[in-house]
Amino acid sequence: MDPGKWVLWGLLVVLAVAIGNVVWVLGVRRLYRPRTAPPQLLRARCRDGWEIAVHVRRAPQRRFEEPVLLCHGLAANRYTFDFAPPYSVAHYLAEAGFDCFSVELRGTGHSRQPPSGRRYTDFTVDDHILQDGPAALELALKETGAKRVWWLGHSLGALVGFGVAQGPHAHQLAGLLALGAPVFLKSEPLLRALLGLGLRAAWPARFRQEWMSATFAPFLGYVNLPLSDLLVNAEHIPPPIQRQVFANMMASMSRKVLLQFRDWIENDAFRSYDGKVDWRAGMSRLSLPMLIMGGSSDRLASAENVRKQYELLTSPDRTLHVFGRDRGDKMDYGHGDLMFGTGAPTEIYPVMRAWLESRATPLPAPVEQPKVSPTLPA
């Protein structure tokens, strides 16, 4: 056969596989979408012109003045906290009387439209701290009329909260709840190797993690993906929930953010992209209430890591919880198990709720709130 025809056939096969994968992923996401009423979608404009999405789940009966801002971690989106009950922190806290605002950091989910002249992968963790966090805070305050906001973050989302608390918007924070925050990152061979692979896959701009996760989602529960135990303990998460989570919650990773993580790992740091701002050192000067939480079997934010960050703090109101069998819990929690483990809704969510309720400002009388039609795009 003419070599030109071989090339043509090869291109046609590649095109057919690509189209088939697109159809497969779209079908997987539709099949495994969370079966719950979607939240209201609002937009917050950052000072640099980027618009980020904030998904609002209002309390049917609002009992507390301060809302809760929920911030996802790396390679994730708003489904981290706003999923389908019982595995949904946003639903749980809304039923307790808190308005909940789940932010999607720039480059993620519905926050992927950059301002003119910018690529949607052109950002670092600095932008999350200096731009996204303050914009989301302002929106939550405007929508609720409150003076301060509770910040609940998982993994990178907690680190962003620690950074925001050291900036000019610190006075707008009522307190921080950090869940599985890797403030200290050890330079372990496996972690370095994984990050190296991620950086190569992210060239020249991003790693399409969400596409790969959705592709393999239907097989989870029957087989485990290689190295997935770094993110979750699959034995603790029901197979149907695994499939839903991987089909919906995963997101792309910016190469610049991965480069920043490499700096943190290689130099045992939590600092700005240019190295000039040491956010870890700044944590010792924070005085607002803080709830530090982790899992006893978390391989990214280990129990030792979580205890070290707690010891770093000097706030007079700080609390530490490491969830695991040692304290009588149902399981030894990993990284993602803190939201989606079978015991999370009965062992972890109540700790967060009780901590918030004991410090939040009660309204004089509960406020009945009308249902707001969701404004999510198709």
Write down the mean pLDDT value for the chain.
91
Of 37-46, 111-120, 152-161, 260-269, the range with the lowest mean pLDDT is 111-120
Can you give the pLDDT at residue 2? 67
User: What local confidence, expressed as pLDDT, does residue 13 receive?
Assistant: 75
**Tokens coding 49:** 């012109």
> Given this model, what pLDDT does residue 18 score?
76
Looking at residue 373, its pLDDT comes to 66
The residue range of the domain holding 106 is: 42-190+270-368
For residues 237-247, average pLDDT? 92
The answer to whether residue 84 scores a pLDDT higher than 80 is: yes
CATH code of residue 164: 3.40.50.1820
Q: Does 248 map to a domain?
A: no
Q: Quote the number of domains for the chain.
A: 1
Share of the chain above pLDDT 90, in %: 70
What is residue 375's predicted lDDT score, i.e. its pLDDT? 60
The answer to whether residue 215 is domain-embedded is: no
Q: Is 263 domain-assigned?
A: no
Q: Which two tokens stand for residue 190?
A: 């496996």
Nearest CA to 279 out of 89, 130, 122, 82 is that of: 130
**Mean pLDDT, residues 225-233 taken together:** 70
Neighbours of 3 (CB within 10 A): 7
What mean pLDDT do residues 8-21 have?
A: 76
Tell me what the mean pLDDT of segment 206-227 comes to. 82
Q: Between these two residues, 279 and 15, which has the higher pLDDT value?
A: 279
**pLDDT tens profile 298-331:** 988 999 999 999 999 999 999 999 999 998 998 9
Please check whether residue 253 lies inside any domain of the structure. Answer: no
Ranking 145-159, 224-238, 239-253 by mean pLDDT, the lowest is 224-238
201 in any annotated domain: no
120 or 79, higher pLDDT: 79
* 31 in a structural domain: no
Look at residue 242 and tell me if it is in a domain: no
Q: What's this model's pTM, rounded to 2 decimal places?
A: 0.94
Q: Across residues 34-44, what is the average pLDDT? A: 94
Does residue 130 lie within any of the structural domains?
yes
